[in-house]
């Protein structure tokens, strides 16, 4: 009886081993059934029920075979949403890397454009002694233009001053036509407005910039890429042409302002303790040097110092953009404050006798006129006792 059981066990072990891999060669320790015996075992497995006492080992090995080859299709279908195949993980990783690379490159390109404009602004410090409005159309060509001139650019980057085309053909004789075209396409122009002067620019996207006394602006001939960027030192008033696909960014040394299309005033003079933004219409996002953001609504003013955003207040925006039209309407401002502003505006120290410095001033001053004429207008508004005195309001060139 025992011999028969051992014989049956050997047969079923052979059957299980064979079923594990019918193409495999049995190892040297296992019984070596003949081909005829193997066929019988196959028949027994396929057509008959094995004895109950000897089926446990066979089923265990059979289950191991099933697990090694994978679960049936219906089971895989249930698990597929939970576990991504390797190729999908690789594809997702590549897409993620491409996305990071795209946004990194995008940010790098935007910062690179800003850095180029900053370098040009630093290089322009040697032009602080210019006496007239100066348009710089290339590294080698500077054009003096009249006060209050309008500089306009076509969508292709061609520049005109008061509707007269600027001749730039002789910028560099050794430059080929192709190189010249590429140079123009990548070129940044700048405008330098000295004390006592003003100017206005129409950019290639039809945005308009009014530039106040003692200011500089650097800008591209035509806008490319994902943002329209300019760099400002001083005071400007902007009416930005709306373009939701290409936001407009005003960069300064202290902050940057990003808009889609709106009107606002920026004051960021070199070496000034404070800078400011006044919003006339639309909405702007201001980011300071510490990466802090503030959203502005019309008739709001944001003030910044070297630490960043310091104050936000409600104002009458019209009081901050009077200079755009060159007319300053005064409604009782003390004379000493008026003269202090004129000193900064014209770059010449303007003084008055202490006896009149607190006199309220009412009337209009035309800032597009020369300083002497403006002072004459002031003298005419003073009380009669001072009307004939030439030294009551005067220019002091010795200490400025």
Tens-place pLDDT, residues 222-262: 998 889 999 999 999 999 999 999 999 999 988 999 998 89
Cβ pair 331, 181 in contact under 8 A: no
Give the span between the Cα atoms of 111 and 86, in whole angstroms. Answer: 37
Whether the predicted pLDDT of 51 surpasses 70: no
Long-range Cβ contact pairs of 316-322 (< 8 A, separation 24 or more): 317/265, 317/278, 317/279, 317/280, 318/280, 320/265, 320/278, 321/237, 321/265, 321/278, 321/280
Q: Which residue has the higher pLDDT, 100 or 65?
A: 65
The pLDDT score that the predictor gives to residue 79 is 44
* CATH class of the domain defined by 104-320: mainly beta
Helix (H) or strand (E) holding 308: strand 308-314
Classify residue 138 as left (phi > 0), alpha (psi -120 to 50) or beta. Answer: beta
Give the span between the Cα atoms of 143 and 133, in whole angstroms. Answer: 8
Q: What is the pLDDT of residues 317-351, one digit of tens each?
A: 998 998 999 999 898 999 999 999 999 999 999 99
Helical axes 2-20 vs 56-69, angle rounded to 10°:
10
Per-residue pLDDT band at 25 (split at 50, 70, 90):
very low
Helix (H) or strand (E) holding 334: strand 327-334
Half-sphere exposure of 112 toward its Cβ, with a 13 Å CA cutoff? 9
Per-residue pLDDT band at 12 (split at 50, 70, 90):
low
Whether the predicted pLDDT of 22 surpasses 70: no
Give the span between the Cα atoms of 208 and 200, in whole angstroms. Answer: 7
The pLDDT score that the predictor gives to residue 394 is 86
Q: Which residue has the higher pLDDT, 100 or 311?
A: 311
The pLDDT score that the predictor gives to residue 115 is 67
Q: What is the pLDDT of residues 349-364, one digit of tens each?
A: 999 889 889 999 998 9
Give the global pTM: 0.66
Per-residue pLDDT band at 179 (split at 50, 70, 90):
very low
Q: What is the pLDDT of residues 102-160, one digit of tens each?
A: 444 444 555 676 666 666 666 655 556 788 999 998 766 889 999 999 999 998 888 99
Lowest mean pLDDT among 16-25, 100-109, 193-202, 390-399: 100-109
The pLDDT score that the predictor gives to residue 346 is 92
The pLDDT score that the predictor gives to residue 170 is 46
Give the span between the Cα atoms of 355 and 120, in whole angstroms. Answer: 46
Whether the predicted pLDDT of 60 surpasses 50: yes
The pLDDT score that the predictor gives to residue 384 is 72
Whether the predicted pLDDT of 74 surpasses 50: no
The pLDDT score that the predictor gives to residue 146 is 93
Helix, strand, coil percentages in the chain from 3-state DSSP, rounded to 5: 35, 30, 35
The pLDDT score that the predictor gives to residue 225 is 83
Secondary structure of residue 387 in the 3-state scheme: coil
Tell me the average pLDDT across 65-93.
50
Q: What integer best gives the mean pLDDT of the chain?
A: 77
CATH architecture of 326-396: 3-Layer(bab) Sandwich (3.55)
Q: Which residue has the higher pLDDT, 52 or 206?
A: 206
Give the span between the Cα atoms of 167 and 400, in whole angstroms. Answer: 38
Whether the predicted pLDDT of 219 surpasses 50: yes
The pLDDT score that the predictor gives to residue 302 is 96
Q: Which residue has the higher pLDDT, 398 or 372?
A: 372
Tell me the average pLDDT across 17-23.
54
Please name the residues in contact with 381: beta carbons below 8 A apart, sequence gap of 6 or more.
361, 362, 363
Listed by start position, the domains of the chain span: 2-79, 104-320, 326-396
Q: Which of 196, 269, 202 is nearest to 238 (CA)?
A: 202
């Amino acid at each position: 009886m025992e011999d028969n059981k051992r014989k049956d066990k050997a047969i079923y072990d052979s059957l299980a081993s064979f079923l594990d891999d019918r193409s495999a060669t049995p190892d040297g320790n296992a019984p070596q059934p003949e081909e005829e015996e193997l066929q019988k075992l196959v028949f027994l497995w396929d057509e008959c029920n094995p004895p109950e006492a000897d089926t446990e080992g066979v089923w265990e090995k059979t289950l191991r075979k099933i697990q090694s080859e994978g679960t049936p299709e219906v089971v895989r279908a249930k698990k597929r949403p939970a576990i991504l195949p390797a190729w999908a993980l690789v594809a997702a990783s590549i897409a993620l890397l491409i996305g990071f690379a795209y946004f990194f490159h995008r940010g790098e390109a935007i910062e690179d454009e800003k850095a180029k404009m900053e370098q040009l602004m630093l290089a322009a410090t040697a032009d602080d002694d210019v006496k007239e409005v100066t348009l710089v159309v290339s590294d080698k060509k500077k054009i003096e233009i009249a006060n209050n001139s309008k500089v306009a650019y076509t969508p292709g980057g061609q520049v005109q001053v008061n509707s007269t085309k600027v001749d730039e053909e002789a910028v560099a004789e050794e430059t080929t036509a192709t190189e010249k075209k590429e140079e123009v396409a990548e070129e940044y122009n700048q405008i330098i407005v000295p004390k006592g002067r003003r100017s206005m620019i129409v950019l290639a996207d039809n945005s308009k910039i009014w530039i106040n006394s003692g200011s500089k602006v650097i800008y591209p001939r035509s806008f490319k890429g994902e943002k329209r960027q300019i760099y400002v030192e001083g005071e400007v008033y902007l009416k930005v042409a709306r373009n939701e696909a290409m936001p407009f960014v005003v960069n300064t040394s202290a902050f940057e302002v990003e808009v889609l299309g709106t009107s606002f005033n920026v004051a960021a003079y070199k070496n000034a303790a404070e800078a400011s933004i006044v919003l006339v219409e639309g909405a702007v996002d201001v980011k300071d040097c510490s990466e802090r953001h503030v959203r502005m609504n019309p008739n709001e003013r944001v003030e910044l110092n070297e630490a960043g955003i310091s104050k936000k207040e409600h104002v009458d925006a019209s009081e901050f953009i009077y200079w755009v039209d060159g007319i300053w309407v005064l409604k009782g401002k003390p004379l000493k404050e008026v003269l202090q502003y004129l000193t900064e505006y014209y770059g010449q120290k303007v003084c008055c006798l202490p006896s009149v410095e607190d006199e309220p001033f009412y009337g209009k001053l035309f800032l597009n006129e020369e300083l002497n004429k403006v002072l004459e207008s002031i003298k005419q508004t003073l009380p009669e006792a001072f009307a004939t005195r030439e030294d009551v309001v005067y220019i002091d060139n010795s200490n400025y």
